Amino acid sequence: MRHLLSTHDLSRGAAIQILDTAEEMAAVTEREVKKLPALRGRTVVNLFFEDSTRTRISFEAAAKRLSADVINFAAKGSSVSKGESLKDTAQTLEAMSADAVVIRHGSSGAPQRLADSGWIDAAVINAGDGTHEHPTQALLDAFTMRRHWSALRGIGSTGSDIAGLRIAIAGDVLHSRVARSNVWLLHTLGAEVTLVAPPTLLPLGVETWPCRVSYHLDETLEAGVDAVMMLRVQGERMHAAFFPSEREYSRRWGFDDARLARLDALGLKDTIIMHPGPMNRGLEISSAAADSPRSTVLEQVRNGVSVRMAALYLLLSGGLGDHPPADSGRTQDNSNRREADS
What residue ranges bind ligand CP (CB under 6 A)?
Answer: 52-55, 128, 137, 276-278
| 321 forms part of the interface with ligand ASP (CB under 6 A) | no
> Considering CB distances under 5 to 8 angstroms, the limit depending on partner class, which of ligand CP, ligand ASP, none binds residue 177?
ligand ASP
Q: Least distance to ligand ASP from the beta carbon of 264, Å?
A: 27
- Nearest CB to ligand CP, comparing residues 59 and 215: 59
Choice between 137 and 280, CB closer to ligand CP: 137
The answer to whether residue 145 forms part of the interface with ligand ASP (CB under 6 A) is: no
Q: Which of 150, 157, 234, 286 binds ligand ASP (CB under 6 A)?
A: 234
Is position 177 an interface residue for ligand ASP (rule: CB under 6 A)?
yes
By CB under 6 A, residue 128 contacts ligand ASP? yes
| Minimum distance, C-beta of residue 8 to ligand CP, in the bound complex (Å) | 18
Please choose which of ligand ASP, ligand CP, none residue 234 contacts, taking the beta carbon within 5 to 8 angstroms, the exact cut-off set by kind.
ligand ASP
With vertex at residue 71, the alpha carbon angle to CA 70 and CA 75, rounded to the nearest 5 degrees, is 145
134 binds ligand ASP (CB under 6 A): yes
Rounded CA-CA distance 56/61 in Å is 9
- Binder among 13, 276, 304, 321 for ligand ASP (CB under 6 A): 276
* 34 carries a ligand binding annotation: no
Using CB under 6 A as the binding rule, whether residue 171 contacts ligand ASP is answered as: no
Q: Which of 80, 81, 79, 58 is nearest to 70 (CA)?
A: 58
Q: How far is residue 313's CA from residue 299's CA, in Å, rounded to a whole number?
A: 21
Is 82 among the annotated ligand-binding positions?
Answer: yes
Closer Cβ to ligand ASP, 277 or 324, answer by number: 277
Query: Is 137 marked as a binding-site residue?
Result: yes
Q: At what angle do helices 135-153 and 297-316 cross, to 10 degrees?
A: 120
Q: Is 16 in the site for ligand ASP (CB under 6 A)?
A: no
Q: Which is nearer to ligand ASP, 149 or 184 (CB)?
A: 184
Residue 335: CB minimum distance to ligand CP, A: 30
CB of 314 to ligand CP, least distance (A): 20
Instruction: Give 65 or 105: the residue with its C-beta nearer to ligand ASP.
Output: 105
Binding-site residue positions? 54-55, 82, 104, 134, 137, 177, 232, 277-278
Binding-site residue positions for carbamoyl phosphate? 54-55, 104, 134, 137, 277-278
Site for ligand ASP, rule CB under 6 A? 128, 134, 177-178, 232, 234, 276-277
Binding-site residue positions for L-aspartate? 82, 177, 232
